[in-house]
Amino acid sequence: MNKVEDEVALISPLYSAAFSQIAPQQAEAKPRRRRNRNKGGEDSRFGAKKRKLTQEQVDVLELNFGNEHKLESEKKDRLASELGLDPRQVAVWFQNRRARWKNKKLEEEFSKLQSIHDGVVLEKCRLESEVMKLKEKLCEAQKEIQRLGERVDGVSSNSPSSSLTMEAMDAPFLFEFGGYEDVFCIAENSYNIHGMEWMNL
């Protein structure tokens, strides 16, 4: 396994985990109860409207998130008192931070898969054009063989020891594959083959 595959394999469980939980909800799509607006009013939990954590608070939270994405209850209380926040706020911050982290990972995995996909498409194009070139070569070879065959037929009735007969004999491999007919047959049929299907022939 190469590095990219390694990383993708590492992150991939995120997809299954995410999708396994999203799917049932999408299927049912129950309506959610709307929350009452609390415009400029009192927040039931904090007594006053308190929003937007300070940069310093965020920095400390980020530092702790960097070490451990999950929050032990003890650590939550300690952080909360250290930052002058409600423990609930710390818990919510970690929860939202985990969600953002997960989204970021999914985006990263998506762009990795996309670049792998682009590479594969490019390689497919290259192989297809190679197949086309080989088919053209094959076609030319067949025409040459046919020309030689016709000359052999024309001359053999007059002179069995002519140089043309010898030319024909220089390609003994053709006879091992059952003669010209099979070769022609393959070449004609393979003109309408796309992708790598021709290999099955």
Partner DNA sequence: AAGTTTCAATTCTTACATCA
Partner DNA sequence: CTGATGTAAGAATTGAAACT
In this structure, what are the phi and psi dihedrals at residue 144, rounded to the nearest 5 degrees? -60, -45
In the bound state with DNA, the residue whose beta carbon lies nearer, of 3 and 34, is 34
In the bound state with DNA, the residue whose beta carbon lies nearer, of 38 and 129, is 38
What's the min distance (Å) between Cβ of 74 and DNA? 11
Of 5, 50, 175, 178, the one binding DNA by CB under 7 A? 50
- If one asks whether residue 36 binds DNA (CB under 7 A), the answer comes out as yes
Tokens of 65: 């998130």
Asked if residue 88 lies in contact with residue 45, where contact means CB atoms within 8 angstroms, the answer is: yes
First to last CA, the chain: 31
Of 8, 60, 91, 155, the one binding DNA by CB under 7 A? 91
- Rounded CA-CA distance 115/131 in Å is 24
Question: Which residues, in sequence order, are CB contacts of 130 under 8 Å at separation 6+?
Answer: none
- Rounded CA-CA distance 152/165 in Å is 6
From the list 17-25, 108-116, 172-180, 184-192, the region that binds DNA by CB under 7 A is: 17-25
- If one asks whether residue 44 binds DNA (CB under 7 A), the answer comes out as yes
Asked if residue 152 lies in contact with residue 168, where contact means CB atoms within 8 angstroms, the answer is: yes
Instruction: Name the residue among 46, 79, 48, 78 with its Cα closest to residue 62.
Output: 79
Of 4, 9, 10, 17, the one binding DNA by CB under 7 A? 17
In the bound state with DNA, the residue whose beta carbon lies nearer, of 49 and 147, is 49
Measured CA angle at 80 (ends 78, 85), to 5 deg: 165
In the bound state with DNA, the residue whose beta carbon lies nearer, of 24 and 66, is 24
In the bound state with DNA, the residue whose beta carbon lies nearer, of 50 and 126, is 50
Q: Which spans of this chain sit near DNA (rule: CB under 7 A)?
A: 17-18, 21-22, 24-26, 29-30, 32-39, 43-46, 49-53, 58, 70-71, 73, 88-89, 91-93, 95-100, 102
